[in-house]
Structure 1
């Protein structure tokens, strides 16, 4: 086999490898968005920004405490109503929304059934007719 034939076979093999990788990447769509309705959420971002600013202005950032298999969210004031959105960055199918209403300043939730790993918690709540939004990271072991 001479050098010319080896070069042609090598380039042909390389081109087939690149084409195979391209077809594999197109057919296995792993490039998904975090939120499927991101456009609708972007239209209402002014409300989210106002809620985040309320947390800063009123200094009411909730504290997350993970004790064993129980997540405790401690608020600054009593009587809070809202929901906690658990978002899993690695798998959107595990996302979960949990509504809550507290008479005291604490909300407890068992997390023993949750998958271990990194979670993003978005807490959306109201206290004394004022709306708040806070996002924090949580690692469940």
Structure 2
């Protein structure tokens, strides 16, 4: 049987489409390829964008800002000494972009104007730190990226 060039093109397209569909189904059905959203309910999250930007601006306008650093003991969040420990309220979200199973929240409870998140809670790699806090009725938001070694 002789195959002309038109039949060859149709066969080539069919094989190529089968190849692509195989990989699409493989990625969607295999749990090894995790394709979660970065933020659940992102439409609701984006509707509060202006409020978030105002809180970021409040944090940026501070004369002395809290610092977020990584030490061998863990992640240290140090507030300026001028802040009263008992008036700072809020939480810290440590977000792992590569795997949301490692994400966790911590309430801000200052000791000597600092908060320490222990090393045992962290794994090596990149962490996005979102710190939302309130001090004397003003809301603030700080976002930083740290790398744990």
Query: In structure 1, what is the Cα distance between the partners aligned to 2:71 and 2:128?
Result: 17
Query: In structure 2, what is the Cα distance between the partners aligned to 1:100 and 1:70?
Result: 15
Query: In structure 1, what is the Cα distance between the partners aligned to 2:10 and 2:28?
Result: 26
The match for 2:96 is: 88
Aligned residue pairs, count:
141
Query: In structure 1, what is the Cα distance between the partners aligned to 2:58 and 2:25?
Result: 48
Query: In structure 2, what is the Cα distance between the partners aligned to 1:38 and 1:64?
Result: 26
Query: In structure 1, what is the Cα distance between the partners aligned to 2:34 and 2:42?
Result: 17
| Cα deviation, residue 78, structure 1 | 2.9
- CA RMSD, 1 decimal: 2.7
Determine whether 1:140 maps to 2:141.
no
Query: In structure 2, what is the Cα distance between the partners aligned to 1:92 and 1:78?
Result: 33
| Of 44, 48, 54, the match for 1:44 | 48
| Of 94, 98, 117, the match for 2:106 | 98
The match for 1:14 is: 16
Quickly say closer, same or farther: Cα 1:8–1:65, change in 2 above 3 A: closer
| Cα deviation, residue 75, structure 1 | 1.3
| Stretch of structure 1 that moved more, 18-27 or 75-84 | 18-27
Quickly say closer, same or farther: Cα 1:69–1:103, change in 2 above 3 A: closer
Quickly say closer, same or farther: Cα 1:52–1:9, change in 2 above 3 A: closer
Give deviations 1:30-49, integer Å, cap 9, x for gaps: 44321112122222222211
Which structure 2 residue ranges, 5 or more long, are not aligned?
none
Give deviations 1:15-61, integer Å, cap 9, x for gaps: 42123123334445744321112122222222211111111222343
